[in-house]
Amino acid sequence: MKRDDAQDNSNMHTKKSIPPYMKAISGSLGGIVEASCLQPIDVIKTRLQLDRSGNYKGILHCGATISRTEGVRALWKGLTPFATHLTLKYALRMGSNAVFQSAFKDPETGKLSGHGRFLSGFGAGVLEAIVIVTPFEVVKIRLQQQKGLSPELLKYKGPIHCARMIIREEGFRGLWAGVAPTVMRNGTNQSAMFTAKNAFDVLLWKKHEGDGKVLQPWQSMISGFLAGTAGPICTGPFDVVKTRLMAQSREGGELKYKGMVHAIRTIYAEEGLLALWKGLLPRLMRIPPGQAIMWAVADQIIGLYERRYLHAAI
């Protein structure tokens, strides 16, 4: 009898597990909405990080200068690879994080420890950095650093042409320029983000995964926004170094930066310590709002699935 009760409890726990594919779908839809809203801030961030001569005086001046000299459309440069990149990245991030969490759960209680949640997030961040983030961001940054709108004056005519040119001139490895700092940045970001998002959901809204409670979009936005603030501050140097390594090409001679450590030393020596946090403000303007938008969409989809398929079956 006790064995049957234990089996029933185990079955109930299995029913309450949200499948990874639903997490992946929720993340990809959230990514589409986020990319459409926040692309201009990403363009400004990239231009500021690549500005060594002080042409831009700040976020507003950078945005105004781009709009005035290149047209408003220039603020959406690289949108196609950015939107595709976000959609695939969030699908992989949310799906792989769910798989890792399942692996780290206690087999008897089905509970996930804080340590397991942190490692699951780090694993998801490393995976997305290698598989998706690095090649897409190399293409996006090469497109964003081009000034002007006349196609005949631009080296790269679009994302596919850009990728082909990089492969032709630098080999396939060129698409993975800056992979080391990208792995460090994304692994750290996602371990902190998933841990913080769960903590804020519990602390602010008493929401536990699988309990059937669906957060209001504004509640998800608050939790997502707060969870997205710590990463950019901690990983600023990795993001700057990533951008510099991805932006440089072998055209015209030797590469300025030989790798992640060399780039950090060179930037520090030539531009000072604060240069390693260039673009931090636009990152804080983009990442926390981006997480707020993504989680507002994702939580609604996951909550709907919980309510319709998990708790309806109990």
Do residues 77 and 43 lie in contact, with contact meaning Cβ atoms separated by under 8 Å? Answer: yes
Q: What is the mean pLDDT of each run of 10 residues along the chain (314 residues)?
A: 47 63 94 87 86 87 93 87 85 96 89 92 96 91 80 82 93 92 93 93 90 90 93 88 86 80 93 92 88 95 85 62
The DSSP secondary structure of 223-282, one letter per residue, reads: HHHHHTTHHHHHHHHHHHHHHHHHH--STTSS-S--SHHHHHHHHHHHH-GGGGGTTHHH
Q: 260-271 and 179-205 helices cross at what angle (nearest 10)? A: 80
CA dihedral of residues 118, 119, 120, 125 (deg, nearest 10): 90
Q: What is the spatial distance between Cα 156 and Cα 292, in angstroms, rounded to a whole number?
A: 33
How far apart CA 144 and CA 42 sit, in angstroms, is 9
Counts for the chain of helices (H) and strands (E), in that order? 12, 0
The pLDDT value given to residue 10? 45
pLDDT at 45: 85
What is the sign of the dihedral through the CA atoms of 188, 190, 193 and 195?
Answer: negative
Which residues have CB under 8 Å from 107's CB, separation 6+?
none
Structural domains for the chain: 20-208+217-223+232-308 (1.50.40.10)
| Distance between first and last Cα of the chain | 20
Contact status, residue 299 vs residue 215, Cβ threshold 8 Å: yes
Q: Which of 138, 147, 171 is nearest to 245 (CA)?
A: 138
pLDDT for res 55: 87
CB atoms within 10 A of CB 115: 10
Q: Give the per-residue pLDDT at 223.
A: 96
Measure the CA–CA gap between 97 and 190, rounded to whole angstroms: 9
Q: In Å, how far are 11, 31, 32, 253 from 293, measured between CA atoms?
A: 34, 8, 10, 43
Contact (Cβ atoms closer than 8 angstroms) between residue 205 and residue 223: yes
Q: What is the Cα–Cα distance from 256 to 173, expressed in whole angstroms?
A: 17
Sign of the torsion formed by the C-alpha atoms of 79, 282, 232 and 250: positive
